[in-house]
Structure 1
C-alpha cells in the first residue's frame, strides 16, 4: 500500500526552519543541506528533518527523484520514514525541491564514532559494545529487507556512518537514498541485475572495488560497504584514515590482528570502565572477546575483494545475532 504523504509547500518549510536559518542546519551532503524544522505532523507539533536539494549540483534532481521513489516503495522499522516531498518554486522564482523526514534526536552514527570531526557541537558519549552491536544488527536488518524482502530489490549504494541515524531509543535507521537503485530479476539469472549502471557513485572508503572497474550496482556492493561500516563501528577508525595507504586499508588492518590481537584494534572506549590499572590494555571479559572475534570476522568476510565471497545480509543477521548471544552469556 502506497503511503499518503503530508501536503507541504515551500512556505511551510520556510516557516518551519525560520527561513532556512543556519542555526537549524543539522547536516550537509553531496546534494544538499538538512535542516531541523518544527511543524504539525498529523495535528501534532513535532520536530522534522528537512533535506533541501542544491539543484545547481549535478545529479541533485535525479537524487531527489530516486529518494522519493525508493522511500515511497519501502517500509521497515530500520529505514528512515519520509513524511513528505516538496517540489515547488522558492521566493526568488527558482525551482525548489525538498524531502521531509522524521527527526532523529540522537544524530548519526558518524557523530558518535567521530565526534571531533562532526559539525554538530553536541557532546556525544562513547557507544558501548552492546549499543554498537544493536546498531549493526539494525542496519543489517534494513539492508536484508531492501535486498530480499521489499516490493522490489533495492541497492542503497551509499552506506556509511553519516547515513545511519539514531532515534530516542538508539534504534538505527538507514537514510539518504539519493543514490539508491532498483534491481530487476531477469529470467534464468539467480542474482539481481540493475536496469541501468549509469551514474554509479558512493563515498570514498566504502565503495566496493568492482564498482571502480565498471561493475553494475549489486547487493554484493552494499554488503562490502556494510562490512567496512561494521569494522569502523567496532574499531572507531575511518576507512579514509591517514594511516592507510595504497597497500593498506581498514580491512587489512583488522585482518592482520585477527583473531589473537582483536583487542589491539577495537575501540577501547567500549571498555573505559575495564581499563587495566596502570596500563593501556583493555581488560575485556571472555564473553566480550568472543563476541568481538565473531563481529570482526563478519566484517572481514563482508569486505572481501571478491563479491562472491561476501555472503548475504541474511547470513550477516544470523551471525551478529549469535555474537550478541555470546555477549549476553
Structure 2
C-alpha cells in the first residue's frame, strides 16, 4: 500500500508515520509537509520515507502525489488556537483551501481519503454537563482554528455526497505524546519545568480537556481506514477528562516539584470550557480500544521523552516563551 501523509512532519502526523512503519512494514509512506515552524525534519529522522516539502494548497504539488497513492491521510492543518487569534489567514489557507485542493485531487484520481479533524468543531460543554460530543452534535466552533476545521469537515462531507469521493472523517480529542511542538499546553509545561521556569496556567485552569495519547489516536485512524464505512465520521477519545490545573500539577509532581509551583496568566479569549468525546461507535463497531488507559503513566513517558530529547525542542524554547511573554501569557 502506498500512503500519502499530508502534514506528516508535524506532531500527530510524524507519530502516525513512525507507528505505520513499525507496525506495517509493507506500507510505503510519502510525506507532504510545508515544514513551517510546527513541522520538523527531525521528527522523521532515520525513517525510510520520501519527504516532499510543499504547500498542501498547491495543486501542482498535491496532484502528482495523490496520483501515486492508494490512500491519503490528511493531517495537514494549522492547529494552534492562540496563533489563529493573532492571524487567522494561515488557518483559512491551509485548513480550507488545502483541504479543497486535496479533495479535488482525490476526486480526479479515485484515491481513498481519511480526513483528520478535532473535537473543537463542536464548541464546548459546561463543566457540570454529563453530555459528551457525538457524531451528530451540532457544530459550534469558537475560534478561527476550530471554525476552519469545521469548514474543512463540511467540504469533505460535500465531496462524498456530491462527487462520490471515498472518504472517512475522524474528530479526535486533545492529543499528547512525543514530538509535540512546545507551544502546546502539555509540552510547554514540561519544558518550562525542565528549563527551570515556572509553568503557566491560563485563567483559573478549570478548563477540561479529554486527553488521548497520540499512539492511540493513530491506531484508531488505521482501524477507520481498514474497516470504517465511507462517508462516516468517527469520534476518537480515551475518556481522559482532566482540568488544565490538574495536568499542570501532575507535571510538577512527576518532575519532583511542588504541585503549586506555577503562575496564573491572562486567559485566552473565548477559551472553551470543556471537551468530552463519546467514542462508543468506534469501539463497538471497529473494535478499537486505547492502550494508554492510565494518563499518569502516559504523561510520565511523555515527560521522559522531552527530558531525553532536549536537542529536538531546545532551539525553539526561548522564542516561544518570548512570544507568550509579549502577550502576558
Instruction: Give TM-score, length-normalised by structure 1.
Output: 0.23
Higher normalized helix content (fraction of residues) = 2
Q: Which has the higher contact order (CA 8 A, sep 6+)?
A: 2
TM-score by length of 2: 0.23
**Structure of greater Rg:** 1
